[in-house]
């Protein structure tokens, strides 16, 4: 039982989930202008300022859906950003001229998606390469785009199996903006890396399904070698350099316990494109320097401030860096680093209002699963109370081929501030701990992946940390599926569950994936199950067919335009549960897709969710 009077002051929802005041700064290639994202008339837009001056001004005027991703082109005049319509993920590429303010839709094609990848090089400031499914909705061809004229030209036609997006990913462009390689996913789930020889493609590497999270990263400065993530002869993936003519491989970074290439930061020199360092995730982030030219810089910056260091942007002369520090108990902070002077100047905090409040620390843990597999994760305790017999929220990550990391997490701080222990489990199938750990999750959705979550819950109970009668499970995407699994497969463990855009029926989920995920279907069927051959197995792992077991309150939210997990995944389990008289609260957001992006929707959802949790766990909520 938690003593709510011992908790620190309640953090308002708007401070945690409203728009950040300023975030994601970048420096222009010529080092003269700083850009960042900030609200303009209540909606997230791109702002710029001249370095050394206080002339901050917005240069875009999005009025409905805030901008989430943007980047500078090498012409120093055009900032590119992508935008979809109410979460449908049919990304359009826009450009705004910082001198004229003119905004241009470079891909004004209805129902067409640009994959989240752009190739650009300093020596070609007016030209970029982008993947579009313009010719065939299920495939991404590569197009050349002239930023000055807006002219688009087909550069490389997809032979029918190049992924074009996600990991492993599609087209590889060299530093002369030439298509030199591609990856494709075969019917058996293996990944093929092909090299272009003249007009023909030649198979260079085949990664089996067991090694399918290996992938190319990019070309060396001379375009003669390729940086790759490889795990063919190792459990953990390592960073290597491979000669395109001889196939000779040179391992650059290898950790025997952690993958060094998946969910990592590859730091390339902005002009020469030499790979200078790699930041990879263990319990915390680590940096491995490959180029002594920046060794002193990274050492200095790692010791400047607590937290995971990220280099967000560098000018072409490599004199100015924009950096950030990600800590568990404070909001993201951004700095400008002048290399010549070894000088670090504070730019801004993403959420300065949050600094008035006491935040919780997040600690890593490591335990053994019931079958002996080592499980990693993070646990966060409410501030000011003894960590004994407390209510807990299990917070499984999405993906599932992702992992939880240490750092600031708004949802974790929100839950902790309301009085709950927050448990994050990197269950089998999570990336970062070697291929054997990833592959141990194959066809274990709702099986051993869920057992891992339960094993960690039981560990927390055995340690006396939590009240076994006050445990909730809450997640989004795969985490939403896991929440539904918790509610239907092990209803005696949890007292309530919250699912956001979660899968309820693995058969309908796989059969309704977007057309442009078609090349990835074989990976889904190999790692989850095949609806055509394993229907009964997939039913046995689907919460929809376990509704008879459901006896705890459910809160479910979904975006109406979600292209990945269709809203029917939530609606069919809501309908089935209600027919059985089970308490289910359902919220459909008409202007959202996969996840809640609009701040007003996120605030509405957390308001409902925290009252739901308070009712069933006994924590507190903001009136």
| Rg value, the chain, Cα | 24
Q: Is 455 one of the annotated active-site residues of the chain?
A: no
**Does an H or E element contain 7, and which?**
none
CA distance 485 to 316: 50
Catalytic residue among 237, 477, 504, 570: 477
CA distance 585 to 608: 10
Helix (H, G, I), strand (E, B) or coil at 346: strand
CA within 13 Å, CB half, 486: 31
b/e for 196-226, b at 16 or more Cβ within 10 A?
A: beeeebeebbebebbbbbbbbbbbbeeeebb
Q: Are the C-beta atoms of residues 379 and 365 closer than 8 Å to each other?
A: yes
Q: Is 190 one of the annotated active-site residues of the chain?
A: no
Question: Considering only CA atoms, which of 526, 450, 527 is closest in space to residue 485?
Answer: 450
CA distance 145 to 157: 15
Query: For residue 469, what are the CA distances in angstroms to 321, 391, 393, 613?
Result: 50, 8, 12, 13
CA distance 360 to 596: 24
b/e for 42-64, b at 16 or more Cβ within 10 A?
A: ebbbbbbeeeeeeeeebbbebee
Q: Are the C-beta atoms of residues 140 and 158 closer than 8 Å to each other?
A: yes
List the alpha helices (DSSP H) in 196-252. none
**Rounded to the nearest 10 degrees, how much is the dihedral formed by the CA atoms of 602, 604, 609, 611?**
150
CA of residue 161 relative to chain centroid, distance: 24
Question: Considering only CA atoms, which of 27, 28, 29, 22 is closest in space to residue 45?
Answer: 22
Question: Considering only CA atoms, which of 357, 474, 437, 422 is closest in space to residue 12?
Answer: 357
Q: Are the C-beta atoms of residues 529 and 503 closer than 8 Å to each other?
A: no
Catalytic residue among 376, 397, 450, 594: 594
Query: For residue 372, what are the CA distances in angstroms to 1, 400, 429, 435, 437?
Result: 32, 21, 15, 16, 12
Q: Are the C-beta atoms of residues 278 and 287 closer than 8 Å to each other?
A: yes
CA distance 113 to 140: 9
Catalytic residue among 92, 161, 562, 576: 562
Residue 182 in tokens: 């591609």
CA distance 433 to 261: 11
Residue 362 in tokens: 């997040």
Q: Is 562 one of the annotated active-site residues of the chain?
A: yes
Question: Considering only CA atoms, which of 72, 73, 93 is closest in space to residue 83?
Answer: 93
Q: Are the C-beta atoms of residues 141 and 157 closer than 8 Å to each other?
A: yes
Q: Which residues are catalytic?
A: 477, 562, 594
């Amino acid at each position: 039982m938690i003593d709510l009077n011992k908790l620190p002051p309640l953090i308002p929802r708007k401070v945690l989930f409203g728009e950040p005041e300023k975030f994601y700064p970048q420096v222009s290639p010529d080092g003269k202008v700083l850009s960042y994202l900030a609200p303009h008339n209540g909606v997230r837009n791109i702002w710029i300022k001249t370095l050394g001056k206080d002339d901050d001004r917005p240069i875009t005027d999005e009025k409905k859906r805030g901008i989430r991703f943007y980047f500078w082109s090498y012409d120093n005049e055009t900032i590119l950003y992508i935008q979809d319509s109410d979460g449908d993920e049919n990304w359009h590429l826009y450009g705004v001229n910082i001198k004229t303010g003119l905004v241009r839709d470079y891909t004004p094609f209805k129902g067409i998606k640009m994959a989240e990848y752009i190739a650009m090089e300093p020596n070609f400031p007016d030209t970029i390469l982008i993947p579009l499914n313009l010719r065939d909705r299920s495939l991404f061809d590569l197009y050349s785009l002239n930023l000055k004229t807006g002219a688009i030209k087909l550069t490389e036609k997809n032979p029918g199996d190049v992924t074009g997006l996600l990991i492993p990913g599609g087209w590889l462009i060299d530093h002369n903006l030439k298509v030199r390689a591609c990856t494709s996913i075969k019917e058996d789930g293996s990944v093929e890396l092909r090299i272009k020889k003249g007009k023909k493609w030649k198979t260079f590497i085949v990664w089996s399904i067991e090694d399918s999270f290996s992938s190319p990263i990019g070309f060396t400065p001379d375009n003669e070698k390729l940086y790759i993530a490889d795990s063919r002869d190792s459990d953990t993936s390592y960073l290597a350099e491979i000669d395109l003519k001889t196939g000779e491989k040179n391992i650059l970074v290898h950790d025997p316990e952690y993958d060094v290439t998946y969910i990592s930061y590859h730091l390339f020199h902005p002009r020469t494109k030499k790979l200078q360092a790699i930041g990879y995730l263990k319990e915390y982030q680590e940096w491995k320097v490959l180029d002594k030219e920046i060794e002193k810089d990274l050492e200095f910056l790692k010791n400047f401030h607590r937290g995971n260091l990220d280099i967000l942007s560098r000018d072409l002369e490599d004199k100015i860096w924009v950096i950030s520090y990600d800590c568990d108990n404070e909001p993201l902070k951004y700095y400008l680093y002048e290399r010549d002077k070894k000088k670090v100047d504070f730019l801004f905090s993403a959420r300065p209002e949050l600094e008035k409040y006491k935040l919780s620390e997040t600690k890593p843990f490591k335990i053994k699963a019931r079958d002996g597999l080592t499980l990693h994760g993070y646990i966060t305790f409410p501030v000011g109370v003894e960590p004994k017999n407390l209510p807990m929220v299990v917070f499984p990550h999405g993906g599932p081929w992702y992992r939880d990391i240490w750092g600031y997490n708004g949802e974790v701080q929100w839950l902790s501030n309301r009085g709950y222990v927050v448990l994050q489990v990197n269950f089998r199938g999570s990336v970062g701990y070697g291929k054997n750990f990833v592959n141990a999750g194959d066809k274990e959705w709702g099986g051993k992946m869920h057992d891992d979550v339960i094993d960690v819950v039981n560990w927390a109970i055995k340690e006396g940390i939590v009240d076994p009668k006050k445990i909730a499970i809450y997640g989004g995407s795969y985490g939403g599926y896991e929440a539904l699994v918790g509610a239907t497969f092990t209803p005696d463990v949890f007292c309530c569950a919250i699912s956001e855009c979660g899968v309820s029926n693995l058969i309908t989920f796989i059969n309704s994936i977007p057309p442009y995920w078609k090349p990835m279907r074989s990976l889904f069927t190999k790692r989850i199950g095949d609806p055509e051959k394993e229907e009964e197995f997939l039913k046995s792992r689907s919460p929809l067919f376990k509704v008879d077991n459901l006896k705890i309150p459910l809160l479910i939210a979904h975006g109406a335009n979600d292209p990945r997990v269709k809203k029917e995944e939530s609606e069919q389990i809501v309908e089935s549960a209600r027919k059985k008289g089970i308490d289910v609260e359902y919220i459909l957001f008409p202007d959202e897709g996969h996840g809640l992006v609009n701040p007003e929707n996120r605030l509405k959802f957390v308001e409902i969710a925290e009252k739901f949790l308070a009712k069933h766990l006994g924590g507190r909520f903001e009136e």
